[in-house]
Amino acid sequence: MSAGASFYITTPIFYVNDVPHIGHAYTEVAADLLARWHRQAGEDAWLLTGTDEHGQKILRTATANGVTPKEWADRLVETAWKPLLKTVDIKNDDFIRTTDERHEVNAQKFLQHLYDAGHIYTGEYEGFYCVGCEEYKQPSDLIEGTGEFIGQQVCAIHSLPVELLHEKNYFFRMSTFAERLLALYEDDPDFVQPAAARNEVISFVKQGLSDLSISRSSFDWGIKVPWDDSHVVYVWFDALLNYITAAGYGQDDEKFSRLWPATHIVGKDILRFHAVIWPAMLMAAGLPVPRRVFGHGWLLVGGEKMSKSKLTGIAPSQITDTFGSDAFRYYFMRAISFGQDGSFSWEDLSARYQSELANGFGNLASRVIAMVVRYCDGEIPVTTAFTDADAAIRATEIRVTDAAGEAISRLAIHEAIASVWELVDELNGYITIQEPWGLAKDPADRDRLDAVLFTAVRGLGTLAVLLSPVVPEACAKLWSALGGEGLVTDQRIDRAWEWTGGTHVSPLEALFPRIEATVG
Ligand code: ME8
C-alpha cells in the first residue's frame, strides 16, 4: 500500500470531565458514516476516536470529586465514553486515550524533535485563560458577564470568568508559519471546509500569528516536557498529537505511512486548533499536513449551542432508548446540512421517524417482502420482460448511487442521504402505480407481477447497500430478509445496484416499529 493510500478519518478526542451529550454523538456518527461508506467502497478506511484526559479542566473535576485525575478518566472512559460508541453504533478501528503510553512516549518524541530543531524557546506570558476552553483568550474573545458574573469579563463560549495567568513557559514559534499556512489554504482550497470556515481561518491568520505557549508549570497533570520535567505539555498541544501517535508515529513507520494524513471531522468551536495550530506543528516537524479539516455546525437547543455546562445537554441514550440507534443516526445526518448549525427538537425527530423511516423506507421493505412471500411463496421471481417503468427504477438506482458517492466525496452527508431517498420515494410511487396486489388477482398478469416484484426487490437491495452506513442495523436485517449474499457491508457501495443475492426472501419484522409512548 502506498503512502497515505488509506482513508484515515478522526473525531476530536473528547474531554472526560463530563459525560457525552448528543453533540459529541453527532460528530461520532458523522465520522463513522464516512468511514463505513469508504470501507464499503473498497478502501482501507480507518476510524479513530478517543479521549482527551490531561489538563486543568480534568484535574479540577477529579479533585472536586475526591479522586485522582487518572481514576476519574478511567471511570468516565469505561462508564460513559466507550459505551457511547455502542449507543450510536460506531465501528471505530481504534480508541486512543492521551494517558496511553503509546501517546505519551511518542508525543514526547515529537516535542523533543521540535526543540532540537529550534522551534521552541523559553518565554513569559500573561493573559486571560479559560479553563473550559483550555485556551488563552484575547480581550476580543471576552464578553460582559451576566447574573452572578455581572461586572466580570467572561468567556464567550462558556459564559464563565477567565483567569489572569502569568507564567514562564516554553513557546512554539508558530508565528513563523503564517505565510506557509496561507499558501496551504490558497493552494488547497479544500483543506479547510466548509467555505465559510475556510474564510474565517484565512482572515484570522492574515492578522498575523503569535507564538504559542506550549507548557504549564503551575500543575502537573500532563505529559512531562522531555527536557524539563518541571513543566507539563499544554493540553491542546498534547491532544492534537493523538492523531499521529495513534497512527504509529514514532514507533510503527509502516502503519504511519499507510494511514497519515487524515481527514479530521471537528466541531467549528475547535476549528482553529485543527486548521492553524495543528498544521503549523506538523510543518515544524517536517510531516505532511492533514488531508482536510471539516468544521461541522452546532446542535442548538433553544437557539444556543447545546452544552453540559449550560445544562442544555441531552444524553444520546434518551433518544436511542426510544427510537433506536439507526433513527438517531438517520435523523441527525439527514435533517441537518453537514457544516451548518441545526436545532434539535423531539417533534421533528418523531415526525421524520414516522414519515421517512417507518412509512417511507420500513413500510416499503415490509410490503415488498410480504408480497413476494404471499404471491411467489418467497421465491424471488426471475424475469427479463421489462417495461419503461421498470427501467426507470433501474436507472434511478444507478443515478442515486453515483450522486450519493459524489456527495460523500464532498462530505455533503445530508445530500448523499437525500439522493438515496429519491429511490425510496420512487419505489413507493412505483408500487402504488403498478399495484402488484391487482396483478396478483389475474393469472394472465403473472409475467407482469414477476417483473414488478423483481424490480422492487432489486431496488430494495440497492437501498440496503446504500443505506448501510447510515442505518446499519435496519440494513443488515433487510439484507438477510432479501437473501443477500454474505454481509451487506461487504457489498460495494459505489456499484450498489449490482448487489448479488439469493433466490428466496424470508419474512421481515418491522424495521422501524411504531412508537407509542410520548417522548420529550
Ligand atoms: O474540544 N453540537 O473536547 P470537547 C455539535 N478535547 N457538536 C458538539 C456540540 C454541539 N452542541 N458540543 C460538542 C475538545 N460537540 C477537545 C478536543 S481534539 C485534538 C481535542 C462536539 O469534549 C464537537 O465535535 O469539548 C466539538 O468540536 C467537540 O464535541 C468538543 O468536544
pLDDT tens per residue across span 480-496: 999 998 999 999 999 99
Whether the pLDDT of residue 107 is over 50: the answer is yes
Arithmetic mean of pLDDT, 426-447: 97
3-state SS track over 327-361: HHHHHHHHHCCECECEECCHHHHHHHHHHHHHHHH
pLDDT band at 1 (very low <50, low <70, confident <90, very high): very low
Centroid of ligand 1 to alpha carbon of 243 (angstroms): 15
270 lines ligand 1 (CB under 6 A): yes
Determine the pLDDT at residue 520: 46
23 lines ligand 1 (CB under 6 A): yes
For the chain, the distance separating the N- and C-terminal CA atoms, rounded to the nearest angstrom, is 49
Determine the pLDDT at residue 4: 65
User: What does 419-487 look like in DSSP terms, one character per residue?
Assistant: HHHHHHHHHHHHHHHH-HHHHTT-GGGHHHHHHHHHHHHHHHHHHHHHHTTTSHHHHHHHHHHTTBSS-
Determine the pLDDT at residue 140: 85
Cell output for 195: 467555505
Q: Which atom of ligand 1 is nearest to the CA of 269?
A: 27
Whether the pLDDT of residue 141 is over 90: the answer is no
Arithmetic mean of pLDDT, 451-466: 98
Helix 325-335 and helix 316-323, axial crossing angle in degrees, nearest 10? 110
Which positions ≥6 away from 86 have C-beta within 8 Å?
none
Look up residue 326 and give its amino acid: D
Arithmetic mean of pLDDT, 287-310: 89
Determine the pLDDT at residue 301: 85
Nearest CA to ligand 1 atom 4: 14
Q: How far apart are CA 163 and CA 216, in angstroms?
A: 14
Q: What is the pLDDT of residues 24-49, one digit of tens each?
A: 999 999 999 999 999 999 999 999 99
> Residues marked as binding for Zn(2+)?
130, 133, 155, 158
390 or 5, higher pLDDT: 390
Q: Helices (DSSP H) in 117-194: which residue ranges?
A: 178-187
Q: How far apart are CA 265 and CA 193, in angstroms?
A: 10
Nearest CA to ligand 1 atom 31: 14
137 or 97, higher pLDDT: 97
The catalytic residues are 21, 24, 130, 133, 155, 158, 305, 308
pLDDT band at 311 (very low <50, low <70, confident <90, very high): low
Centroid of ligand 1 to alpha carbon of 266 (angstroms): 7
Determine the pLDDT at residue 352: 97
> Residues marked as binding?
130, 133, 155, 158
279 lines ligand 1 (CB under 6 A): no
Whether the pLDDT of residue 19 is over 50: the answer is yes
266 lines ligand 1 (CB under 6 A): yes
Q: What is the pLDDT of residues 370-389, one digit of tens each?
A: 999 999 999 999 988 999 99
Q: ∠ CA(426), CA(429), CA(430), 5° rounding?
A: 85
Centroid of ligand 1 to alpha carbon of 397 (angstroms): 37
Mean pLDDT of the chain: 95
Q: How far apart are CA 137 and CA 157, in angstroms?
A: 11
Cell output for 298: 452546532
461 lines ligand 1 (CB under 6 A): no
Residue 150 burial by Cβ neighbours in a 10 Å radius (0-12, 13-18, 19+): exposed
Q: What is the pLDDT of residues 186-237, one digit of tens each?
A: 999 999 999 999 999 999 999 999 999 999 999 999 999 999 999 999 999 9
Residue 208, sorted as left (phi over 0), alpha (psi -120 to 50) or beta, turns out to be left
pLDDT band at 393 (very low <50, low <70, confident <90, very high): very high
pLDDT band at 508 (very low <50, low <70, confident <90, very high): very high
493 lines ligand 1 (CB under 6 A): no
